Structure 1
């Protein structure tokens, strides 16, 4: 499902991921991708609406019946996506996974407790125009709460840049990004520092009589540190985006299952291509910066006030669009 701006709000995910060891079941059939909706629904969860809606449903027999029907329909739709031959193989060789596929409810819920408001809203938005009657009473209730907050469900996200206000909150968000990057890059930085320290120590012990040891230690540890920086950088970017999608919650940057799940929705191939493009753009930016630095004062001002901010905004916005769409950049 897409909003009127053309951006994906909900996507359908294939429920089985085959690995070398055994199949992994991804029970969330409908995935809420719109960042605006995700943020608003996250705020509802923080405000305790999972428990409130649970109490409301327990007090309403009709709502509870509709909810149970929604679970059964959700599981049926999930199974329908799987080819018959694959389903037979799963039942015969991996009965535990088959049970998760066929019996768990909305978003993989076991029992009839509300697990997540995001998955319920996604189910409601995806199916409300295709099914007769109540699709998902919890998803409908969430949608109504959003409407009461004057949020349009059919046009909730566009390409307009946010207003440059709320400087205090922006400063805090920037500080959180710094903390996340600092934590993720501790190991690569320490490797490079240790390499430099070891190479200097070799000089103090042997002098420059054997410069090979010095250069081998320095270059070897630097290369290892650079490789680690690239690897940790891949994870750090997803972590920061996941933090942004979860209302700037710092802990979301270290929920590794969510981080990997986010990236699986895009695909590692697509993500790596984007990452390489960003590296190339960064290198080009460095080259331009070096040339501008040759211009006294004016060049430095251009770099500080124009080049560096533009590259940062371009990088952040492209990452946001990549993860917001989960379909295409």
Structure 2
């Protein structure tokens, strides 16, 4: 898993900081910029539990608005009260762990690092009935995991990409040339 220089530059601009991990782009927006990356599970020789990252500045802003309206609490209550939703959510944790296991089989990873990466849920969360953040679950869903929290977030978004008159990532690149 190795990202090229232009991908690293764009993702660094999207996140507002240098990206240390290797990654692959898991999903592009309609304008051809990364929306979600799949990050290496090891960074600087240490476990890095978040497999999928939401990098799109537009989506990050939209999801932050949902968080500010209390959507995390709402979804945690739904996990507590809706058995089928909770089962699907636990399934997303399992599916993510299986993907991590597959990735780790191809890498040389110590037993302790492997345990730390596989003994926790999506994004390294310990309590599998909690929603750490909506960005994390949307990235997990857009990265290909059948995550009901991520799917719910996606469905709640009124807009899912920048307008053609203001493509944020294009502007970020122009500003940093």
- TM-score (ref. length: structure 1): 0.42
Mark the structure with the bigger radius of gyration. Answer: 1
Give every structure 1 segment of 4 or more consecutive aligned residues whose post-TM-superposition deviation is greater than 4 Å: none
Matched with 1:121 is 138
Between Structure 1 and Structure 2, the one with more strand by share is: 2
Q: Residues 14 and 61 of structure 1: is their aligned pair in 2 closer, same or farther, counting only changes over 3 Å? A: same
Gaps of 5+ in 1: 129-134, 163-315, 323-328
Check if 1:8 corresponds to 2:11: no
Report the number of matched residues.
148
Task: Report the CA distance between 1:39 and its aligned residue.
Answer: 0.6
Q: Residues 51 and 318 of structure 1: is their aligned pair in 2 closer, same or farther, counting only changes over 3 Å? A: same
Task: Please give the residue correspondences for 1:1-329 in structure 2 after superposition, counting only pairs within 5 Å.
Answer: 1-18=27-44, 23-84=45-106, 86-87=108-109, 90-91=110-111, 95=112, 97-112=113-128, 113-127=130-144, 135-146=146-157, 150-151=158-159, 153=160, 156-157=161-162, 160-161=165-166, 317-318=172-173
Could you tell me how far apart the structure 2 residues matched to 1:158 and 1:108 are?
34
Deviations 1:47-95 (A, max 9, x none): 21101110012110001011111101111212322245613xx11xxx2
Q: Residues 13 and 26 of structure 1: is their aligned pair in 2 closer, same or farther, counting only changes over 3 Å? A: same
Between Structure 1 and Structure 2, the one with more helix by share is: 1
Gaps of 5+ in 2: 1-26
Conserved 8 A contact 1:117-1:142: yes
Deviations 1:111-135 (A, max 9, x none): 211111111001111216xxxxxx1
SS of 1:65 mapped into structure 2: helix
Could you tell me how far apart the structure 1 residues matched to 2:107 and 2:132 are?
31
Q: Residues 108 and 319 of structure 1: is their aligned pair in 2 closer, same or farther, counting only changes over 3 Å? A: farther
Task: Report the CA distance between 1:101 and its aligned residue.
Answer: 0.9
- TM-score (ref. length: structure 2): 0.74
